[in-house]
Structure 1
Amino acid sequence: MPRPARLLIFLVLVYAFCWIKGWPAYYDDEELPPSQRPKSTTALGEHRVTVDHLTVTVITAATDAYTKLAPALLFLDGAYHKELLLMGDLMMDIGPFPVFDVLAKLPRKYVEKTDELERYKRQLDYVRKGIPLDHLPEKYSDKEKAVLSALAKYKIFRAMESTWEYRPKRDWYIFTDEETFIDRGNLLDWLAQYDPKEKHFFGNPPIAEVPDAFAAAGTSFIVSGETMRLLFEDRKKMVQNWKNWDPRIPDYPSTIHLIDSFLKTELSLEMKSFWPGVSGFSPTTISYSPGLWCEPVLMMHHVTAPIASKLYKFERERVDDHKIDNALRYSDLWYRFMGPEDLNGTRHDWDNLSSESTNNRWNILFAKDGEPDENRATRGEDSWEACKESCDNNKYCLQWSYSSIAANNWNENGFTKCHLSSSMRLGAHAEPEEVEVNGETQSRTWTSGWRKDHFKRWANQQRCKNQQH
């Protein structure tokens, strides 16, 4: 073979080798160890932390462990199992996952004399006698919620103590519940702003004078490794803290109120809000609006198993499409959960949450009688058709709901039948509900509608940094 031909073949082979070597290789997220996974482009600071230094402690109740916690574990990426701890009120196993009874750390005499621990005492009695725990919950959901909320206060100190015992010297610690979705990539990017070797405490303050103080805020909180070290490295100090604080637990209405007061008193540490990245919303209750549109999603609460399943599938699709290194934003959830919904027609027996307490900042005010105001809506109290017309004629309105009996808007509007919103929410099917009006029981129904096309035109013009659809 002539020398020029051999040289040409050699150059072609070298080029081919370089081209193949440089070909991009994609891996599923779980195929790589945490330290080698693609890093998000949205880090906000220099204090980068890997997932193996973010410990997540889920606090559960024995009566919820199989119905709420088990599905959540099913949807959790195996790469996050090592830094997961489960704390509850009964020693039990959910498949390969142990749940620790942190209330067993409380002094026996303290348990015996504390009224709010009555459920715990009954629960242990049921277990000894072999009585199924599904006989424990209260008949009415509101009462059951109050019982579990009270019980949660007594778990938190010992859950934090046990977390430090099992996973000491991590950079960050999350304390949360079973129905919380966590985007660890986004959360670690957000936490990169803060030095874990300093004291930090992140949470959202509850909202007073509404039916659910945590509907918008969620119940989770995050503390830095330094905060945990100061609390638990010195065991004598820890024991003294429990002697001082255990008697005070009944005085607090919730876990967040208790922890806020405890850290403020013992460490002079104030709570910092992490709203809107962390919220009490789920994809179907988010108030989609310009203010939230491009915000990264860090954590969501009240995520039921069916919604968690859809989120799991959505995350897998993002991995398959190689979008995992782009921050998940509220806008992505709109396209995934609201985009496919047919919202052009009116839905009867449906509440889109226009009047719900967490929507009060987006609930549109009505003009006062005899005082026309172009920034306010006209009242549409006569019928759902009149309410729809009021929304269609208001430049800010994106959705409306109509209740057959007046309901609170949690703002200046007070109680009305027509409820207008400048945000978009999906909501859910709503069966007729019994309400008391002037001493009489009446049935209230809900009808809802949206201006989805109007919102979609706006949404399609928005561009969030590094966002893909």
Structure 2
Amino acid sequence: MALVITVERLALSCTDGIHCRGAHHVAKRPEAFKHDVFRQTDREPGFLSIEAPSNILATESVPDSAGRSKSAPESDCAQFPDTSKILLVMKTGASEAFSKVPAQLTTNLKCLPEFLIFSDMEQEIGGHKIYDSLDTVLDPVKTSNQDFDAYFRQRQCAVDQESCNRNMDFKQEGWDLDKYKNIHIAEKAFNTRPNYDWYLFVDAGAYVVWPTMVRWLEQLDHNDPMYIGSKTWVGNSPFGDGGSGYVVSNRAMRDFFEDEHNVANRWDEATKRHCCGDLMFAKALKEATGISVNDTWPTTNAEKPFTIHYSSKQWCQPIATMNHLGSEELSTLCAFEREQKFASPMRIRDLYHHFVAPRLVPIRPDWDNLSDDVFYLDISENSHDHYQLRKAKLEGLSPLEKSAHLSFDSCQRACQVDSACLQYRYHDGICGFSRTIKHGLPKPKTNQMSDRWMSGWDVDKIQAWVQEHDDCGDEIQWPLVQTPQL
């Protein structure tokens, strides 16, 4: 009976068009037929071929794919785009997996035909396999390195990971451990899924706007060696920010990993001296292939609807990724897309109109609206940090600007007469102005007024600005896509 079920699923996967790859791939074979193992000492394919002999099918235990959303209601995914050429590869950690992954499985991953999730410990969530990304790190690097203390300790946990980590400084430990993952994850993903056009690497707090992502990547050539993301820097080293998510073409992945063995191990030792896994991926890719990151901000974005800076540079741009979303925010964004019938593309202005505009008010106490374009402060105070002093306006001050740091009301009056100031905030003797629209986040309420966060918006100016910029036209400015000249 088990064999009959297996064969039936094979037939289904080849007739529904989800798992039979396109003509540009080497072979048409269902992703369900795979070895459920990522540690490979030789470069054998991670799948059993559709043409496998019947005796293999009869004796081999073939587990179902770790990441496949088979149970999504048809109505929820009816207008969902075809993502079959893009493999989503998600990174998480054992300490956060059960708080983040379940929400992903019911929202952003729900309609995907396949995805992979990697962590620093093998786990299972809702029937979905979470793979250990670090089992192939060189043993000397793991055993003689305090960065891996948490890696070994969490395997001794006698209850749930959250309870075991409650009294530990796991935030820093998790960060130290995380940096070893990225290259190993990429190698494992390619070794077992070598025939996708695009590989999208995201964190567990990310949201992918799939209609935008699909339409964008359709206009790029996966046969070109491409590594794209929101470019950031550590020293003189550019890399695609992992929080924003980065995309790597099939050609780039082949240049990096094809016909090679244990590629990620070449950088295990060097990783100890660096801060971050996304930085290490960029360094390794550059060293091995010469491929550098192409900047695609703000389409790949590390912010979310309530923290994005709504400015003229971003307003009409398409958005494909966001980050740092909680479970409720994931659900809300997913519901918004379903209401829009997964329309493509989503622009940044759409986020403003749906999430921010209905909440626009003149004043919010106990709130930080992220107004930090320019600061007004008392230079004689010694408590200001370098960031505050760097953004402080110290010369050519008007009378209202000179007194803006004295109170929230003074800060408000100074903003009102400044035509470029759309919003403002006041905290601890510092008045901040913003020339872009930002919503922000709540702050703890305090009984001492000097410590209280107060935020305000010049609603009339903002509404006039929105009306002036709201007509984006029909043409989309896609990153890296050349617009044909008429």
| TM-score bracket, shorter-length normalisation | 0.7 to 0.9
**Structure 1, residues 140-193: CA drift from partner, whole Å, max 9, x if none?**
8xx533322221121222211221133221110011111101112212222234
Letter in 1 for 2:160: P
**Residue of structure 2 aligned with 1:455, choices 446, 452, 462:** 462
Summarize the Cα distance change of 1:207–1:385 in structure 2 as closer, same or farther, 3 Å threshold: farther
2:218 maps to which residue? Answer: 192
CA distance in 2, matches of 1:364, 1:294: 30
**Structure 1, residues 67-121: CA drift from partner, whole Å, max 9, x if none?**
11111211135331x2311111121111121101121223444321122111101
CA distance in 1, matches of 2:276, 2:415: 38
2:163 maps to which residue? Answer: 135
Deviation, 1:136, is 3.7
2:330 maps to which residue? Answer: 308
**Residue of structure 1 aligned with 2:93, choices 33, 54, 61:** 61
Question: Aligned Cα RMSD in Å?
Answer: 3.3
Q: Contact 1:196–1:226 (CA<8 Å) still a contact in 2?
A: yes
Deviation, 1:464, is 1.9
Q: Contact 2:239–2:278 (CA<8 Å) still a contact in 1?
A: no
**Structure 1, residues 236-273: CA drift from partner, whole Å, max 9, x if none?**
x332x344311111111111211111111110111111
Q: Contact 2:182–2:280 (CA<8 Å) still a contact in 1?
A: no
Deviation, 1:455, is 1.2
SS, match of residue 314 in structure 2: helix
2:436 maps to which residue? Answer: 423
Q: Contact 1:365–1:377 (CA<8 Å) still a contact in 2?
A: no
1:465 maps to which residue? Answer: 473
CA distance in 2, matches of 1:107, 1:215: 25
1:119 maps to which residue? Answer: 150
CA distance in 2, matches of 1:217, 1:121: 25
Mapped pair 1:293 → 2:315: yes
Deviation beyond 6 Å, 4+ runs, structure 1: 213-217, 363-366
Mapped pair 1:238 → 2:265: no
Summarize the Cα distance change of 1:450–1:214 in structure 2 as closer, same or farther, 3 Å threshold: farther
Letter in 1 for 2:165: P
Summarize the Cα distance change of 1:433–1:107 in structure 2 as closer, same or farther, 3 Å threshold: farther
Counting matched residue pairs gives 387
Letter in 2 for 1:463: D
SS, match of residue 152 in structure 2: helix
Summarize the Cα distance change of 1:181–1:449 in structure 2 as closer, same or farther, 3 Å threshold: same
SS, match of residue 218 in structure 1: coil
- TM-score scaled by length of structure 1: 0.75
2:252 maps to which residue? Answer: 227
**Structure 1, residues 8-50: CA drift from partner, whole Å, max 9, x if none?**
xxxxxxxxxxxxxxxxxxx967236x7xx5xxxxxxxxxxxx5
Summarize the Cα distance change of 1:365–1:356 in structure 2 as closer, same or farther, 3 Å threshold: closer
CA distance in 1, matches of 2:83, 2:128: 19
**Residue of structure 2 aligned with 1:156, choices 164, 179, 182:** 182
2:359 maps to which residue? Answer: 341
Q: Contact 1:277–1:295 (CA<8 Å) still a contact in 2?
A: yes
Q: Contact 1:30–1:77 (CA<8 Å) still a contact in 2?
A: no
1:15 maps to which residue? Answer: none
1:270 maps to which residue? Answer: 292
Structure with the bigger RCO (C-alpha within 8 Å, sep 6+) is: 1
Deviation, 1:378, is 5.5
Summarize the Cα distance change of 1:465–1:238 in structure 2 as closer, same or farther, 3 Å threshold: farther
SS, match of residue 85 in structure 1: strand
| Bigger CA radius of gyration | 1
SS, match of residue 336 in structure 1: helix
Deviation, 1:285, is 0.4
CA distance in 2, matches of 1:244, 1:328: 40
2:45 maps to which residue? Answer: none
Q: Contact 1:231–1:238 (CA<8 Å) still a contact in 2?
A: no
Q: Which one has a larger percent helix, Structure 1 or Structure 2?
A: 1
Deviation, 1:220, is 2.1
What stretches of structure 1 of length at least 5 have no aligned partner? 1-26, 38-49, 407-416, 435-440
SS, match of residue 108 in structure 2: coil
SS, match of residue 103 in structure 1: coil
2:77 maps to which residue? Answer: 30
**Structure 1, residues 118-150: CA drift from partner, whole Å, max 9, x if none?**
110101122xxx23311343658xx53332222
Summarize the Cα distance change of 1:135–1:69 in structure 2 as closer, same or farther, 3 Å threshold: same
Q: Which stretch shifts more, 155-164 or 456-465?
A: 456-465
SS, match of residue 404 in structure 2: coil
CA distance in 2, matches of 1:373, 1:238: 66
